[in-house]
Structure 1
Amino acid sequence: MGRGAKRAVSAQQRQQQYDVDAEWSPADLKLLKDLKRAEAQLPEDAPRALLSIRLSVLTDETTSPVRQELDLRILARDMGVRVIGVASDLNVSATKVPPWKRKQLGDWLNNRAPEFDVLLFWKLDRFVRRLSDLSTMIDWCLKYGKNLVSKNDAIDLTTVVGKVMITLIGGIAEIEAANTSTRVTSLWDYAKTQAEWLVGKPPYGYKTVVDENGRTVLAIDETAYKVLHWSRRRASKISASRQVRIIKRAGVPGSEGLTTSTHLRRLRNPALMGYRVEEDRSGVGRKSKLILGKDGKPIKVAEAVFTEDEFAQLGRDLDRWGKNQPARQEGGATKFLGVFVCEDCDTNITVQVTTTKGVQYKYMRCSGCKGGGAGVNDPDGVNAALVRDVLKVLGDEPVLVREYAKGAEALKRKNQLEESVSYYMKGLEPGGRFARTSFTQEQAEETLNQLIDELATIDPESTKDRWVNAANGKTFREHWEAGGMEAMAADLLRVGVTCKVTRTKIPGQRQPAVHLKLRIPKDYRDRLVIKEDDFASKL
């Protein structure tokens, strides 16, 4: 290949913006040019196509993204549709990442739906690998009036075969979901009663090994064993939070992200006595409880890390430390986490709760300043001040919801009016059917003026599929009064609103002076618009 050809290939690669190297040969570039030339001949109102290209790994055995794009452009030409975009998601697993969560295709599906009419993909396994994902995409296409076409599979929502496929796929997906749920539940129920370790992640302190009979069983992890017994011996002398700091400083493998709550959960897990456990969902927080066998006794699955006496004493030691702490509050003590930001260190301000001599204290502190900065012991008052400021600035803004508006009806009426106008204008020309008498001419001119007036009222944008913001009749003040501080906090985070908190020490007083400064993005009105997530409930 000559130097000039190489430059052309490189430029084309940059234009396609593939995530991995994809070589365009001179023949590929010539074909692409020919296809674009043919596309330029399409009428202005030709349907618009989005090409979806995906590969998990680019190898010699896979169909390259270049080949996929060219094949899909040929399909678009044969269908008479104009290619308006290429969603290229390479090095992406279709099993793990559904279409709506992929970087490029997801942006088109969630934000740019009005820009295309048909979604083309090369083959079903290049688009999705799970029937439930395909069923979700079919539902989405039917909702927004899009077509879904595969080059190498009988999937086309405008054909009879395609519609039959929808019914079949929907039924199969429903059966698959029900069967999967039944199989998983049955497997877990069976596994809970077995001494052999059939499924699941081993509890901290153990690892899985294969015994002499070829069965997978639990064995003690020596490193975790040493950490757990060190923690047990120190539990009466040092707090769990200090234990975590020491464990991290010691460089224990896997301790980089260890937190106090995780460490306590590990120490209180009855699985450390070698018993089978399951998660207790009856209260707040994550806890484990013993599973009893048919004889009413705990099911033994491994050698014990702690004896029952050691485990009981450890629990009592941990309880003594915990008596100085309040019960965990569901939802947390910090109402506006991520909204309150320290002016000095630019880190989040949180509410820390402690109990001393039976009295509960709450302090607002940051994580960047020394000692958390000057503690503010009136978080409820600060929250109330923020609420007042937000309501003053944003409370009267109307709640707008993004809705999908189809332009088919307006376009149909616009075309009818244009045809009627042309008909009457031609009839009013000298020698035309309406120019023969003064009466017919006056009637035709009156009708023509009415048609022109109606045509002028049609907004050209209304003839296109588009997003529109519709008011739901409420203000954000009313919206937040119904949803409370949690709803306000969620909206402020979504919009990107922050509140800078300045704490100034006052001589002779413990409580610092607090100054709040609300920071609202310039495009806050656009960000306030509530956008329905079509895929929110999908995994």
Structure 2
Amino acid sequence: MKKAAGNRQRPHPTNSQWREPDLALLKELISAEVSLPSEAPRALLSVRLSTLTTETTSPVRQELDLRRLARERGYRVVGVASDLNVSAVRVPPWRRRELGHWLNDRVPEFDVLLFWKLDRLVRRLTDLSTMIDWCLRHQKNLVSKHDAIDLSSPAGKVMAELIGGIAEFEAAAISTRVTSLWDYARTQSDWLVGKPPYGYTVDDRGRLVIDPQEQRVLRWCLGAALRGVSARRMTTVLIRARVPTGGGGQWSAGTLLRRLRNPALMGFRVSESKNGGARRSETVLGADGNPIRVADPIVTEAEWLSLQAALGERAKSQPTRREGGATEFLGVLVCADCGTNMTAHRSRGKVRTYEYLRCRRCPSGGLGAPDPESVYGRLTDEVMSALGSEPVLVREYAPGTGTRDRRKRVESTIAHYMTGLEPGGRYTRTSFTRRQAEQALEKLIADLEGLDPQTARDRWLQTSSGGTFRDRWQQEGRETLAADLRRAGITCSVSRHKVPGVRAPKVGLEPMIPADAKERLVVKRDAFTGGSP
């Protein structure tokens, strides 16, 4: 089995909004940290914005204000978690890209979490309650620049929950206003808000009008579909012709099919519906029960019905999509030729239905890999043989606060006795007091030497669960196995070779295990839900 190298850590980036005065102040604030004692509390700065406008507080200002606060309180800044274009209502702190990485994987590296204002951290009272519980368990503090929040005092905890309730109420009010606006806009024939559907644009008067270039694309696709051309083939032609997608990125069969199935092509207002995980656009009906027309049609109703029938004839009944994708091992099984993920597909023949694995880029899926279950079974056997005997280790967080406090008390007491034993000190007046003080001093020095310096640091500990990964995978099933393989960065290269005289290709598997796979297999429990990853 092949070994893969690990990734190097990226430095914290600097964005283009920093001006020369800002950078000069940043340098000054960082330089001031040199004078801080080694045991100064370590601060992590949390910066967040939903959208950057002229009315919002810029990330630069948030960071500089927080660095000033850290200097005032004697904190050493160890990192900045910057999450921009992230909604605090939809994404809790532990699920954000930057802050979530610190909260889940870099807990021992900071003592205090600083944020500019409570609504920059959370917008839901339940999220705030979860963060407070997490901080108390991990002996961390929450400090706000503009709110009276400090978990080191009972009053600070009460104030945090009170302000959190106000922030949640404000977020609910905003959500209600936005929902009301969209509900009203859907009932109007004018185009008030939202992105126009493909094929249309908004003119200077705010009306929805046909985009000539996109109209030609859709009309060509209509004719191709009626001639029996597949969506994949149409996508290939569009990519080769360098036709813009209208939204960035590259054309795909799924994107093209969604646009061709959209009733908005007839000039009707539509709304998106996600039924069973599939994205579909549905016509919005007016008060009279008829579709609301917002623009001239690109295709007639008869043409649209003929188009849907043509697309339906080529549609395949694919396997039910799981939460992780069309195959349980999505992200693990990859094509040996093009490197894309292998996904499960189903094809109906005249006599029976065939299931197979295919990639994304190879012609015809690179011959496909028939019988996905046999591929899954072979992969499971390979992984069980390589890693099944490894013990299951669970990562636990161990704060070093208790040991640090004990060490400080012992060192303070030793200093007290040493001062008293100096010439003229309080313990030198009689031989008895000197002897008692010397004995106490020797005991304290022995206690200090017995304290492990490592236990004075916040750290991760790995404890055994008492079983092996073979036991874990056999008991918890294939989903747990696939999740563990993805976490460890383990992939399996799938090759297909044509065999003369045989219809089905020969399928080869080559698992690739990174050099640090055993370390990455350590189970990291979710500290915010209590479960495993």
Same fold (TM > 0.5): yes
TM-score, normalisation: structure 2? 0.74
2:222 is aligned to: 232
1:197–1:217 Cα contact (<8 Å) kept: yes
The structure-2 alpha-carbon separation of the partners of 1:394 and 1:271, relative to structure 1 and needing over 3 Å to count, comes to same
The structure-2 alpha-carbon separation of the partners of 1:478 and 1:33, relative to structure 1 and needing over 3 Å to count, comes to closer
Choose from 311, 314, 317 the match for 1:318.
311
User: Number of paired residues?
Assistant: 499
2:94–2:103 Cα contact (<8 Å) kept: yes
2-structure distance, mates of 1:64, 1:259: 35
1:166 corresponds to 2:160: yes
SS in structure 2 at match of 1:278: strand
Q: Select the structure of larger CA radius of gyration.
A: 1
Q: How does 1:171-190 map to 2 (within 5 A)?
A: 171-190=165-184
| 522-531 vs 97-106, which moves further | 97-106
2-structure distance, mates of 1:349, 1:327: 14
Q: How does 1:33-182 map to 2 (within 5 A)?
A: 35=32, 38-39=35-36, 42=37, 44-50=38-44, 79=73, 81=74, 83=76, 85-87=78-80, 108-119=102-113, 124=117, 128=120, 139=132, 141-142=135-136, 144-149=138-143, 156-158=150-152, 162-163=156-157, 165-182=159-176
String of CA shifts for 1:86-132, please: whole Å, max 9, x gaps. Answer: 53869x678899987888766544433322323457x659x948756
Choose from 271, 282, 294 the match for 1:289.
282
The structure-2 alpha-carbon separation of the partners of 1:266 and 1:172, relative to structure 1 and needing over 3 Å to count, comes to same
| 151-160 vs 463-472, which moves further | 151-160
| 336-345 vs 284-293, which moves further | 336-345
1:223 corresponds to 2:227: no
The structure-2 alpha-carbon separation of the partners of 1:482 and 1:286, relative to structure 1 and needing over 3 Å to count, comes to farther
Q: Which amino acid aligns with 1:85?
A: V
1-structure distance, mates of 2:139, 2:513: 37
String of CA shifts for 1:242-276, please: whole Å, max 9, x gaps. Answer: 22222333332227612122212211212222222
TM-score, normalisation: structure 1? 0.73
1:7 is aligned to: none
1-structure distance, mates of 2:187, 2:475: 47
Give the gaps of 5 or more residues in structure 1.
1-14
1:38–1:77 Cα contact (<8 Å) kept: no
Give the gaps of 5 or more residues in structure 2.
1-10, 422-426
1:24–1:66 Cα contact (<8 Å) kept: no
SS in structure 2 at match of 1:281: strand
1:205 is aligned to: 199
1:421–1:452 Cα contact (<8 Å) kept: yes
Q: Cα distance, 1:204 vs. partner?
A: 1.8
1:243 is aligned to: 234
Choose from 257, 260, 270 the match for 1:277.
270
Q: Cα distance, 1:299 vs. partner?
A: 2.3
The structure-2 alpha-carbon separation of the partners of 1:296 and 1:104, relative to structure 1 and needing over 3 Å to count, comes to closer
2:320 is aligned to: 329
2:263–2:282 Cα contact (<8 Å) kept: yes
1-structure distance, mates of 2:343, 2:275: 27
String of CA shifts for 1:370-406, please: whole Å, max 9, x gaps. Answer: 6544543222101111012222333344444433322
2-structure distance, mates of 1:288, 1:72: 45
Choose from 299, 315, 319 the match for 2:292.
299
The structure-2 alpha-carbon separation of the partners of 1:471 and 1:277, relative to structure 1 and needing over 3 Å to count, comes to farther
1:340–1:349 Cα contact (<8 Å) kept: yes
1:494–1:527 Cα contact (<8 Å) kept: yes
Q: Cα distance, 1:519 vs. partner?
A: 1.9
2-structure distance, mates of 1:239, 1:182: 43
The structure-2 alpha-carbon separation of the partners of 1:198 and 1:473, relative to structure 1 and needing over 3 Å to count, comes to farther
1:431 is aligned to: 431
SS in structure 2 at match of 1:393: helix
Q: Which amino acid aligns with 2:178?
A: V
The structure-2 alpha-carbon separation of the partners of 1:104 and 1:407, relative to structure 1 and needing over 3 Å to count, comes to same
2:124–2:165 Cα contact (<8 Å) kept: no
Q: Which amino acid aligns with 1:87?
A: V
1:424–1:448 Cα contact (<8 Å) kept: no
Q: Which amino acid aligns with 1:223?
A: Q
Q: Which amino acid aligns with 1:431?
A: S
The structure-2 alpha-carbon separation of the partners of 1:136 and 1:461, relative to structure 1 and needing over 3 Å to count, comes to same
Q: How does 1:268-417 map to 2 (within 5 A)?
A: 268-322=261-315, 325-327=316-318, 329-331=320-322, 333-367=326-360, 372-414=365-407
1:501–1:516 Cα contact (<8 Å) kept: yes
2-structure distance, mates of 1:201, 1:337: 32
2-structure distance, mates of 1:328, 1:29: 55
2:29–2:71 Cα contact (<8 Å) kept: no
2-structure distance, mates of 1:482, 1:287: 38
How well do the aligned residues superpose, as a CA RMSD in angstroms?
Answer: 4.8
Q: Cα distance, 1:454 vs. partner?
A: 7.6
Q: Which amino acid aligns with 1:340?
A: L
Q: Cα distance, 1:318 vs. partner?
A: 1.9
SS in structure 1 at match of 2:357: strand
Q: Cα distance, 1:220 vs. partner?
A: 1.8
The structure-2 alpha-carbon separation of the partners of 1:28 and 1:387, relative to structure 1 and needing over 3 Å to count, comes to closer
| 169-178 vs 336-345, which moves further | 336-345
Choose from 223, 247, 257 the match for 1:264.
257
String of CA shifts for 1:31-66, please: whole Å, max 9, x gaps. Answer: 779845633xx3x54433456789999xxxx99979
1:239–1:321 Cα contact (<8 Å) kept: yes
| 158-167 vs 256-265, which moves further | 158-167
Q: How does 1:459-498 map to 2 (within 5 A)?
A: 459-472=452-465, 475-481=468-474, 483-498=476-491
SS in structure 2 at match of 1:286: strand
The structure-2 alpha-carbon separation of the partners of 1:306 and 1:49, relative to structure 1 and needing over 3 Å to count, comes to closer
1:254 corresponds to 2:245: yes
